[in-house]
Structure 1
Amino acid sequence: MKLYNFNALLDVAKARGFKAIGSFNLHCLEMLPAYFRAAKETHSPMMIQISTGTADYLGYKLLVDAVRSLAESEDVPTCLHLDHCSELTAIRTAIEAGFSSVMYDGSHLPMEENIANTRQVIDLARQYNVSVEAELGAIGGAEDGKQVAEEAIAFTTVEDARHFVEQTGVDMLAVSVGTVHGLYTGKAHIQHQRLAEITAATHTPLVLHGGTGVSDEDMRRAVAGGIEKVNVGTEMNVQWVGRCKQAFEKGKVNDSVRKFLIPANDAVTQVLTEKINLFK
């Protein structure tokens, strides 16, 4: 089975009654079957996103082969997305390996430099039918070792979003509207009016980063208000590590490793299933 780009996967999702797609961070191959179980249980397409750290750890081609194989055997339309990448060489590596979607993150750059680099990525991606995500504004918190302090948070403005989309034609735009990367001990507060105004100004799929920590009510409202891709990573990782710790503490050194991982994977499937059902 081919891997879908974001645009094609969104069409599948909407045909199945979903307003948005969940994009879930994968940290290790052991977690992968749990993702596809959740997709099967919810009759949802699957978007799996990879940080450059995970890609370097596992290998770009191995990730493509593993995800494509499970997508075919489980009959789940799947998109494989490179998340939060500011290095053009890594983006090229992912595209040439077979990733079907990439994110160029130039949110830390001046607007026109972000636009120029995003357009460069889009020119390359179009040759491979790969979708491109970009980001405007600064989302707080930490992800894959990168930290944005509270005082550095910058919310996306309507005019910047309109200008950026007009100048790039990007497939999807990540916006800063109140969520926080890595949040799992508190609750985010989404600026729904800002989101509504950006939606009306861009007519482009918007992306909500920092999906962990968003209440179910806020998530449904955000999806109804224009968010069509929701990133979730921390909540799954916290559950997976927590269950592994419990299992390893109780286990014996001669137990099969799978005994320690099965409860963790079951927890991941449950988290994904609950999140996916919020996107209808």
Structure 2
Amino acid sequence: MYTTLKNVLAEASQLTMAVGAFNTHNLEMTQAIIKAASNQKTPVIIQTSEGTAQYVGMKTLVAVVSSLAKEFGVNVVLHLDHAKNWDIIREAVDAGYTSVMFDGSSLPFKDNILGTKRVVEYAHAAGVSVEAELGTVGGTEDGIVVNPDAVRLTEPEDAAEFIDKTNIDALAVAIGTNHGQYKSKTNINFDVLDSIHAAVEAPLVIHGGTGVSDDDIHHVINSGIRKFNVGTELLVNWNRKSKELYGINKENTSNRNNVVPALEIVQEIVEHKISLFKNID
């Protein structure tokens, strides 16, 4: 039940769907995400940033996620997202993560290839999947802000060469989405996405998924997106509900009375997203 990114994306490709990849910030949120996947009878990807992985503890996350996967009978991937630090990537692989993302998107093209190959060689030897990014997705991710002037859409020809030379299991593409966008909807460049999909066979990944409209979700999945990242929508709604309840409840109220309603909202959002990712015409 505790599986790799390569395995779940192969199934998604066969069924023309996407697997939801949801950022968790604590152990409670992790359980809500896996419960939602169980209700929807689909695999799920639990993502952590480098910061969350170090805050919770990688071995703790591995133990909890593998235990919950078995308990709920769900295929679950534990994925380290947007990792740039080699030592942290190696630590995640050694701790039992089943997928890692090396983010060399800010590097020159050849340096991105070289850095990605190093991660692929180490991770694949341990049976761990690797995602990489080509082009630059805008917005803010785990406190890191990408200047709008630095945003670069993925070039289809570069994508084909990059995949061929690195042997990655999934490619994150820059097609106009932004990390942290939740107050408006993204204007996706479908021409670029369609061109990338025509040029490569590898599963494609969309980052900044919170800003993608429900209608556009179907379009991007039909154009090769097999991993769909959602983070900000969960975090914002968790924080809103928690803020409301901590402001209302007395200090000696059990903390679960503040946390459980926030978890229920997270679970509801995840179930809704998964239903969109798998029900493609």
TM-score by length of 1: 0.97
Residues 48 and 81 of structure 1 are in contact (CA less than 8 Å); yes or no, is this contact kept in structure 2? yes
What are the equivalent positions in structure 2 for 1:83-162 lying under 5 Å apart?
83-162=81-160
Runs of 4+ in 1 over 2 A off after TM superposition: 10-15
In the TM superposition, what whole-angstrom CA distance separates every residue of 1:139-173 from its partner, at most 9, and x where no partner exists? Answer: 11000011102121111111111111111111100
The one-letter code matched in structure 2 to 1:248 is Y
Cross-structure match for 1:258: 256
Cross-structure match for 1:10: 9
Cα drift, residue 10 of structure 1? 2.4
Cross-structure match for 1:224: 222
SS at match of 1:80: strand
Residues 13 and 44 of structure 1 are in contact (CA less than 8 Å); yes or no, is this contact kept in structure 2? no
Counterpart pick for 2:72 among 74, 78, 100: 74
Matched, 1:63 2:73: no
In structure 2, the gaps of 5 or more residues are: none
Q: Aligned equivalents of 2:258 and 2:13: distance in 1?
A: 37
Residues 13 and 226 of structure 2 are in contact (CA less than 8 Å); yes or no, is this contact kept in structure 1? no
Rate the CA distance shift 1:18–1:162 in 2: closer, same or farther, 3 A. closer
Rate the CA distance shift 1:168–1:99 in 2: closer, same or farther, 3 A. same
In structure 1, the gaps of 5 or more residues are: none
Cross-structure match for 1:178: 176
Residues 12 and 226 of structure 2 are in contact (CA less than 8 Å); yes or no, is this contact kept in structure 1? no
Cross-structure match for 1:199: 197
Rate the CA distance shift 1:164–1:11 in 2: closer, same or farther, 3 A. closer
The one-letter code matched in structure 2 to 1:230 is F
Residues 21 and 45 of structure 2 are in contact (CA less than 8 Å); yes or no, is this contact kept in structure 1? yes
Cα drift, residue 203 of structure 1? 0.8
Q: Aligned equivalents of 1:197 and 1:13: distance in 2?
A: 20
Residues 18 and 279 of structure 1 are in contact (CA less than 8 Å); yes or no, is this contact kept in structure 2? no
SS at match of 1:84: strand
Rate the CA distance shift 1:18–1:260 in 2: closer, same or farther, 3 A. farther
Q: Aligned equivalents of 1:279 and 1:6: distance in 2?
A: 16
SS at match of 1:64: helix
Further displaced range: 3-12 or 167-176: 3-12
Cross-structure match for 2:26: 28
Residues 38 and 269 of structure 1 are in contact (CA less than 8 Å); yes or no, is this contact kept in structure 2? yes
Count of aligned pairs: 278
In the TM superposition, what whole-angstrom CA distance separates every residue of 1:207-238 from its partner, at most 9, and x where no partner exists? Answer: 00000011001111001111000110000000
Q: Aligned equivalents of 1:106 and 1:71: distance in 2?
A: 30
The one-letter code matched in structure 2 to 1:10 is L
Cross-structure match for 2:274: 276
The one-letter code matched in structure 1 to 2:99 is S
TM-score by length of 2: 0.96
Q: Aligned equivalents of 1:62 and 1:100: distance in 2?
A: 14
Q: Aligned equivalents of 2:209 and 2:92: distance in 1?
A: 24
Q: Aligned equivalents of 1:265 and 1:14: distance in 2?
A: 30
Q: Aligned equivalents of 1:159 and 1:8: distance in 2?
A: 26
Rate the CA distance shift 1:11–1:173 in 2: closer, same or farther, 3 A. closer
Residues 20 and 229 of structure 2 are in contact (CA less than 8 Å); yes or no, is this contact kept in structure 1? yes
Residues 37 and 43 of structure 2 are in contact (CA less than 8 Å); yes or no, is this contact kept in structure 1? yes
Cα drift, residue 72 of structure 1? 0.7
Rate the CA distance shift 1:142–1:173 in 2: closer, same or farther, 3 A. same
Q: Aligned equivalents of 1:202 and 1:215: distance in 2?
A: 25
